[in-house]
Amino acid sequence: MGSYIAKRLLLSVPILLMISFLTFLLINLSPMDPAEVVLRAQEVPEITEELIAKTREELGLNQPFLKQYADWVMACLQLDFGESFVTGQSVWSLISPAFLNTLKLTLVSSIIIIVMSVVLGVVCALNEGKMLDRSVRGVSFFLTAMPSYWLASIMIWYFSVRLDLLPTSGMDSYQSYILPVTVISVSYVGIYFRNVRSSMLGHLHEDYVVYGRACGLPEKKITKHILRNSLQVAVSIFCMAIPIILGSTVVIENVFAWPGLGRLSVKSILSRDFPVIQAYVLILAVAFVLFNTLSDMINAAFNPKLRKEI
């Protein structure tokens, strides 16, 4: 298992390097001179040729491209993502609190999503085709189809304004989590519980279940076995759910004024704050690669056959 982990980790290095290169290219893809982008981002009212030349020099944009890239990668490895074009603050000081805020939201939502998906998936599978199964699937279909923006607005209106139970936005107390977490969870539970359900159903008719039943094993014990086997499939899906939610909170963060990564990224994109955009893309890419590796490892731990495939 140890060598599998090492190999798997090594494999992600070239992927990360490629992503970092593409990310760095971003700034050079803009039709505008990066120095001018910086000055516009700082909202300097009038931009002169001299000012652009001076800014180019300050930013090291006169250096050869590969040297700029190498310097940038080395700095990133030390968590130094440069300075924001707009505010001049270090990107790390902007992105780390935002990342933490989004992570909080993501983790709480993920736990709820996993628990709810497993519970609903199992209950529906055990009641396949019955009223309960059909109605849970019906409601979830309806809720997942609803745009989260719309659902969020309705919930704020009802629970915050009308019933006065929760704050409309911000992240002041644990109460602030309730609405955003609910909106995120609703849309993902609807997708993930189906995976658990269908995986359970797949196992329900396998030989070992029939055999167990024939041997007179108690139904509880059989269900436990089925659950264990079906959850293996679910593990990788849940692992990927974390980076997916991490990268898709833009709408929720905007509606709930949650000071997280999603909002920071939109703000940076609109003001062409490239160092922040680069750090954002890089962090998300690393999260995807890491969680992908993690899910492979978990699966490999469950299933030794997979370890030989690399």
Partner 1 sequence: MFLCTMALLAGCGETNHENKSASAVQEELIYATAKDIHDMNPHLYTGSMPAQGMVYESLVENTKEGIKPLLAESWDLSEDGRTYTFHLRKDVKFHDGEPFNAEAVKLNIDAVQRNAEKHAWIKLSSKIKNVKVVDEYTVQLILSEAYYPTLVELSMTRPYVFLSPKDFIQGETKDGVNGHNGTGPYKFTEHKIDEYAVFTANEEYWNGAPKIKKITAKVLPAGETTFLAMQKGEVNFVFTDDRGADSIDVQAMNQLIDAGTYQLVRSEAMNTKMIVANSSKSDSPVSETAVREAFWYAIDRETISKDIFEGTEAEANRLFSSNVNYADVELKERGYDPGAAELILEQAGWKKGSGDEARTKSGQQLAMNLYYDSNSSSQKTQAEFIQHALMQIGIKLDIIGEESSSIANRRSTGDYELLFNQTWGLAYDPQSTIAAFTSEASYLHTTKGIAEADHLYDRIQQVMVSTDEEARKALYAEIMRTVHDEAVFIPISSGSVTVLAPKNLKGITFKQTQFELPFEQMYFE
Where do contacts with partner 1 occur on this chain (CB under 8 A)? Answer: 31-32, 36-37, 40-48, 50-51, 54, 86-89, 94, 97-98, 149-150, 153-154, 156-158, 160-162, 164, 167-171, 254-257, 259, 263-264, 267, 270, 272
DSSP string, 165-188: -S-SSS-SSTHHHHHHHHHHHHHH
Q: Shortest Cβ distance from residue 6 to partner 1 (Å)? A: 40
Q: Shortest Cβ distance from residue 273 to partner 1 (Å)? A: 11
Alpha-helical regions (H) of 31-130: 34-41, 49-59, 65-77, 91-126
Rounded Cα gap, residues 231 and 233, in angstroms: 5
Which CB, 160 or 232, lies closer to partner 1?
160
Structure tokens at 139: 């409601």
Which CB, 32 or 115, lies closer to partner 1?
32
3-state DSSP call for residue 46?
Answer: coil
Which CB, 62 or 153, lies closer to partner 1?
153
Structure tokens at 13: 């290095």
Which CB, 238 or 256, lies closer to partner 1?
256
Q: Shortest Cβ distance from residue 172 to partner 1 (Å)? A: 9
DSSP tag of 90 = B
Rounded Cα gap, residues 285 and 292, in angstroms: 11
Q: Shortest Cβ distance from residue 33 to partner 1 (Å)? A: 9
Rounded Cα gap, residues 179 and 73, in angstroms: 39
Which CB, 6 or 165, lies closer to partner 1?
165
- Give the position of tokens 């009038």: 46
Q: Shortest Cβ distance from residue 267 to partner 1 (Å)? A: 7
